């Protein structure tokens, strides 16, 4: 196979996905119904989670976890600036204030010790992110939450399939939020899921996810249903459609195979790249299983004559798709202006941001494609070695 370039992402959709989505279309029921329920129960079984609620994004899942826990104006939630917009947006939607910790420079995750320093009488929850699929140090966060009688939620957008000390991420804190966005380990096109062990919290999340209606459409329009409903609270339009859930179900049938292929691709990248001294590899930790959502390398800037942005330009010139996870929130206009964030307060996140490159990474990535990417990285490093 002659490789001339590698895209950042390529989907693994086939006949099974087309058949499952077609089945939903032919059934005539495309909004939330039995397929969304089935996806919930399959993921609950996989995680061994007591409750799961399907929603239309991870952003929605996190917002609902916070709202359903009564978090609102005057409250604080401790989180990371090194993430996508969603993690902070969901806090701000509730009227609470995000309080940011700097990250661990090596893992890119926030640490329980740093979070502990930010706790005040207003703190109501902790909300770390498992960056790239590497679990945060969950036992420390759980302990901290217990000590201070606050909630521990996790943004598990990257972490379906990850494990920490033998337990699945999604079963450890008070509630976890997963993403089924187009490029996530499991996709439904768009979608998300709440997993929680708390029955009352799950019921509230479910209620708020569909306008807080006493009965959803499935209960109103299927056999024996009645048109009458009551609005029990201020709800949201966050339900997952059966159309999306059917794509998710077909993909979930192949999920464990996808995870094995992601892990295999990560091993091949690592085996090749560890021979290039200008590159630092992603951190893996003994106590956890990495979900391998992303494969992020780091440049050693002192060993190169070009910076990260120029390195990406060189990769692009060889038709290699890349991304950068993440542009920290203290570099984003809205957050700088309205939350008064200053990059000087986050030296680790600031430094790491200048070094990271996310490489092409997906289950169907071919060995030859990995070798091509690594070969190009090797030649760039050679050319621009300091
Ligand atoms: C860390 C993190 N959290 C949350 C999200 C949001 O997921 P969704 O698009 O399903 O709302 C993303 C999406 O990319 C993410 O990377």
Domain shared by 56 and 170, yes or no: yes
Pairing mode of beta strands 279-280, 296-299: antiparallel
**51 is a domain residue:** yes
Which residue of 9, 55, 56, 58 sits with most ligand 1 atoms within 8 Å of its CB, as the best mutation to test the pocket?
Answer: 58
Residue 368: CB atoms within 10 Å = 12
Average pLDDT over the chain reads 97
pLDDT at residue 93 in the model: 98
Taking residues 5-23, what's their average pLDDT? 98
Give the pLDDT band (50/70/90) at residue 227: confident
CA 83–ligand 1 middle distance (angstroms): 9
Domain shared by 346 and 282, yes or no: yes
**217 is a domain residue:** yes
Last residue of a domain, one of 252, 285, 315: 252
Cβ-contact 278, 300 below 8 angstroms:
yes
Last residue of a domain, one of 229, 252, 275: 252
Nearest Cα to 23, choosing from 286, 328, 247?
247
Domain that holds residue 296: 255-383
For the cut 90, the answer to whether the pLDDT of residue 216 exceeds it is: no
**278 is a domain residue:** yes
pLDDT at residue 218 in the model: 73
Residue 57 CB–ligand 1 contact under 6 Å: yes
Which residue of 181, 185, 187, 194 sits with most ligand 1 atoms within 8 Å of its CB, as the best mutation to test the pocket?
Answer: 181
CA 284–ligand 1 middle distance (angstroms): 22
Token readout for 177 is 């939020």
Cβ-contact 251, 187 below 8 angstroms:
yes
**213 is a domain residue:** yes
Give the pLDDT band (50/70/90) at residue 223: confident
Catalytic residue of the set 184, 274, 318, 351: 184
Residue 124, judged by CB atoms within 10 A of its CB (0-12, 13-18, 19+), counts as buried
Last residue of a domain, one of 206, 231, 252: 252
For the cut 80, the answer to whether the pLDDT of residue 217 exceeds it is: no
Cβ-contact 286, 227 below 8 angstroms:
no
pLDDT at residue 157 in the model: 98
The pLDDT tens digits of the residues spanning 233-279 come to: 999 999 999 999 999 999 999 999 999 999 999 999 999 999 999 99
CA torsion sign, 250 to 256 to 259 to 260?
negative
pLDDT at residue 328 in the model: 98
Domain shared by 199 and 260, yes or no: no
Give the pLDDT band (50/70/90) at residue 1: confident
CA 219–ligand 1 middle distance (angstroms): 30
Cβ-contact 220, 29 below 8 angstroms:
no
Taking residues 341-367, what's their average pLDDT? 97
The pTM for the full model equals 0.97
Domain shared by 77 and 34, yes or no: yes
Which residue of 55, 84, 291 sits with most ligand 1 atoms within 8 Å of its CB, as the best mutation to test the pocket?
Answer: 84
- For residues 2 and 208, give the distance between their C-alpha atoms in angstroms, rounded to a whole number: 52
Here the CATH number for the domain that contains residue 378 is 3.90.1150.10
Domain shared by 279 and 227, yes or no: no
Domain shared by 307 and 336, yes or no: yes
Domain shared by 174 and 293, yes or no: no
Helix (H) or strand (E) holding 98: strand 97-100
Chain Cα centroid distance, residue 222: 34
| Nearest CA owner, ligand 1 atom 7 | 58
Nearest ligand 1 atom to alpha carbon 155: 3
Percent of the chain with pLDDT over 70: 100
**356 is a domain residue:** yes
Nearest ligand 1 atom to alpha carbon 191: 10
CA 59–ligand 1 middle distance (angstroms): 6
| Nearest CA owner, ligand 1 atom 3 | 157
Domain shared by 326 and 213, yes or no: no
- For residues 117 and 115, give the distance between their C-alpha atoms in angstroms, rounded to a whole number: 5
Residue 87 CB–ligand 1 contact under 6 Å: yes
Q: How many domains does the chain have?
A: 2
Per-state percent for the chain, helix, strand, coil, to nearest 5: 40, 15, 40
Nearest ligand 1 atom to alpha carbon 190: 10
Domain shared by 334 and 214, yes or no: no
Here the CATH number for the domain that contains residue 243 is 3.40.640.10
CA 217–ligand 1 middle distance (angstroms): 27
CA 86–ligand 1 middle distance (angstroms): 6
Nearest ligand 1 atom to alpha carbon 83: 1
**6 is a domain residue:** no
Give the pLDDT band (50/70/90) at residue 224: confident
Residue 59 CB–ligand 1 contact under 6 Å: yes
Percent of the chain with pLDDT over 90: 96
CA dihedral 196, 201, 205, 207 (to 10 degrees): 140
pLDDT at residue 142 in the model: 98
Residue 179 CB–ligand 1 contact under 6 Å: yes
The pLDDT tens digits of the residues spanning 295-350 come to: 999 999 999 999 999 999 999 999 999 999 999 999 999 999 999 999 999 999 99
149 is catalytic: no
CA 58–ligand 1 middle distance (angstroms): 6
Domain shared by 110 and 239, yes or no: yes
Residue 297, judged by CB atoms within 10 A of its CB (0-12, 13-18, 19+), counts as buried
pLDDT at residue 225 in the model: 80
**4 is a domain residue:** no
Taking residues 121-147, what's their average pLDDT? 98
Domain shared by 122 and 101, yes or no: yes
Cα→Cα distances 344→6, 220, 324, 341, Å: 36, 55, 21, 9
Taking residues 130-156, what's their average pLDDT? 98
Domain shared by 174 and 93, yes or no: yes
The pLDDT tens digits of the residues spanning 33-68 come to: 999 999 999 999 999 999 999 999 999 999 999 999
């Amino acid at each position: 196979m002659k490789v001339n370039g590698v895209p950042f992402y390529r989907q693994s959709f086939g006949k099974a996905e087309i058949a499952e989505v077609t089945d939903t279309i032919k059934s005539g029921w495309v909004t939330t119904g039995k397929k969304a329920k089935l996806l919930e129960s399959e993921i609950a079984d996989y995680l061994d989670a007591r409750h799961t609620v399907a929603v239309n994004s991870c952003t929605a899942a996190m917002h609902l976890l916070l709202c359903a826990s009564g978090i609102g104006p005057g409250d604080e939630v401790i989180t990371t600036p090194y993430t996508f917009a969603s993690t902070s947006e969901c806090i701000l939607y509730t009227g609470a204030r995000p309080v940011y910790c700097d990250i661990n420079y090596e893992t890119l995750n926030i640490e329980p010790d740093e979070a502990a320093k930010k706790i005040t009488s207003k703190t109501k929850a902790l909300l770390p992110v498992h960056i790239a699929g590497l679990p945060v140090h969950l036992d420390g966060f759980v302990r901290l939450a217990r000590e201070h009688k606050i909630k521990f939620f996790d943004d598990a957008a990257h972490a379906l399939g990850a494990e920490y000390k033998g337990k699945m991420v999604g079963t450890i804190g008070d509630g976890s939020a997963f993403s089924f966005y187009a490029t996530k380990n499991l996709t439904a096109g768009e979608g998300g899921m709440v997993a929680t062990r708390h029955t009352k919290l799950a019921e509230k999340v479910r209620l708020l996810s569909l306008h807080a209606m006493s009965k959803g459409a499935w209960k109103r329009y299927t056999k024996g249903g009645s048109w009458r409903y009551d609005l029990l609270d201020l709800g949201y339009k966050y339900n997952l459609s059966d159309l999306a859930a059917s794509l998710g179900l077909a993909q979930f049938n192949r999920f464990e195979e996808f995870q094995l292929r992601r892990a295999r691709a990560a091993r091949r990248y690592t085996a090749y790249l560890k021979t290039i001294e200008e590159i630092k590899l992603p951190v893996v930790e003994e106590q956890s299983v990495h979900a391998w959502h992303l494969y992020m390398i780091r440049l050693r800037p002192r060993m190169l004559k070009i910076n990260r942005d120029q390195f990406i330009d060189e990769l692009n010139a060889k038709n290699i798709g890349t991304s950068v996870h993440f542009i920290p929130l203290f570099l984003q206009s809205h957050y700088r202006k309205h939350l008064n964030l200053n990059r000087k307060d986050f030296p680790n996140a600031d430094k790491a941001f200048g070094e990271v490159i996310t490489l092409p990474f997906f289950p169907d990535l071919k060995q030859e494609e990995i070798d091509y990417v690594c070969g190009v990285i090797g030649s760039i490093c050679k050319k621009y070695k300091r």
